[in-house]
Chain A
Amino acid sequence: DSGVTQTPKHLITATGQRVTLRCSPRSGDLSVYWYQQSLDQGLQFLIQYYNGEERAKGNILERFSAQQFPDLHSELNLSSLELGDSALYFCASSPWGGSGEQYFGPGTRLTVT
């Protein structure tokens, strides 16, 4: 158990819909990272927040957005969903920004039908 929690575990929704994925980092960690894992693209970095501020952006689509709240939990919002957004979404945390030692949650499996 990494100490990172993600909800929900599974999500099934229709194209065009909007969903919110939630992540609680390990106690004391200030940085949260979001990654997407699909069969054809592998594991890809989406976005990082550090202590409430956006720190780095990867290959995140404009239809996706994220935020980190004062209690340090983070939410990833996915809108106008397409079939290709079906993937595993992982959240990771680390004590500070710019750390290669990141602790991953169990993931949320999103299926868009």
Chain B
Amino acid sequence: DAKTTQPNSMESNEEEPVHLPCNHSTISGTDYIHWYRQLPSQGPEYVIHGLTSNVNNRMASLAIAEDRKSSTLILHRATLRDAAVYYCILFDNNAGNMLTFGGGTRLMVKP
């Protein structure tokens, strides 16, 4: 399985944008980039996914590098409720079944 690398933790101030990086240098052409987050004491929550183009939804934006070897999850205005562990996961829709979670990035949001 192609692996992802994320910083262990990041800190942000409330109401400021947050850029969460993910490196996936061994990504294959059929791998989609998925982001999940897990708030304290809750199950993981789907955030966004993309293949090549940048994607936006009500929760976040996903910026994908042109060579697809890295991506960035963007929270436009962090709130205290965004404090969570964020996971970047590669998933092959043609062959995949399971989500393979790494260590993720623990985002702390300061008021």
What is A's interface to B at a CB cutoff of 8 Å?
A: 2, 4, 33, 35, 42-45, 48, 55-56, 58, 90, 92, 97-107
Contact = CB atoms under 8 A, between A and B. Distances in A.
B107 to A, nearest CB: 17
* Interface SS, B side: loop
Interface string B30-74: 001010000000111110010000000000000000000000000
A48 B101 contact: no
Contacts of A56: 97-98
B93 A100 contact: yes
B37 to A, nearest CB: 11
A33 B102 CA distance: 18
Given A58-B98, A100-B34, A101-B34, A43 B93 contact: no
B46 A101 contact: yes
Nearest to B33: A100
A40 to B, nearest CB: 12
Interface string B86-99: 01010101111111
A43 B104 CA distance: 11
Given A100-B49, A100-B99, A106 B43 contact: yes
Nearest to A106: B43
B17 interface: no
A48 B103 contact: no
A41 to B, nearest CB: 10
Contact of A104 (B43, B91, B103): B43
A90 to B, nearest CB: 5
B91 A90 contact: no
Given A103-B46, A104-B44, A105-B43, A98 B101 contact: no
B100 interface: yes
